[in-house]
Structure 1
Amino acid sequence: MLRYFLENHLINISSKHPKDWEEAIRISGEVMKSNGLVTDKYIDQVIADVKEYGPYIVIVPGVAMPHSQADSSGVLGTGIGLTIFPQAISFDQNDPEKDAQLFFMLAAKDNKQHMENIANLSNMLMEDGLIADLRQVKNLQDYQQVMAKYELNKEESR
Structure 2
Amino acid sequence: MLNYLLENDLIRFSEKNPIDWKDAIKISSENLLEKDLITEEYISELINSVEEYGPYIVLVPGVAMPHSQAESEAVKGTAITFTHFNNPISFEDGNEEKDAQLFFTLAAKNPAEHMENIANLSELLMEDGMIESLIAARSIEDIKELL
Deviation digits for residues 109-137 of structure 1, max 9, x if unmatched? 00011011101110110000000000011
2:93 maps to what in 1?
93
Alpha-carbon separation, structure 2, partners of 1:36 and 1:130 = 29
Q: Which residue of 1 aligns with 2:35?
A: 35
State whether residues 10 and 35 of structure 1, in contact with CA within 8 Å, keep that contact through their aligned partners in structure 2: no
Quick check: 1:115 aligned with 2:83? no
3-state SS, counterpart of residue 36 of structure 1: coil
Structure 1 regions of 5+ residues with no counterpart? 148-158
Partner of 2:130: 130
Identify the residue that residue 154 of structure 1 maps to in structure 2: none
Q: Does 1:79 align with 2:79?
A: yes
Q: What is the distance in 2 between the residues matched to 1:41 and 1:134?
A: 29
Deviations 1:68-105 (A, max 9, x none): 00111110000100000011100001210000000000
Which residue matches 1:150?
none
Alignment coverage as a number of residue pairs: 147
Q: Is there any run of 5+ residues in structure 2 with no aligned partner, and where? A: none
Larger radius of gyration: 1
> 1 CA distance for matches of 2:89 and 2:43?
17
Equivalent residue for 2:55?
Answer: 55
**RMSD over equivalenced CA pairs, Å:** 0.8
Looking at structure 2, the residues matched to 34 and 9 of structure 1 have their Cα atoms a distance apart, in angstroms, of 11
Say which SS state the counterpart of residue 146 (structure 2) adopts.
helix
Q: Which runs of 4+ in 1 moved over 4 A?
A: none
- Give distance in 2, aligned partners of 1:3 and 1:61: 24
In 1, the alpha carbon distance for the partners of 2:16 and 2:143 equals: 17
Please report the TM-score for the alignment, with normalisation by the length of structure 1. 0.90
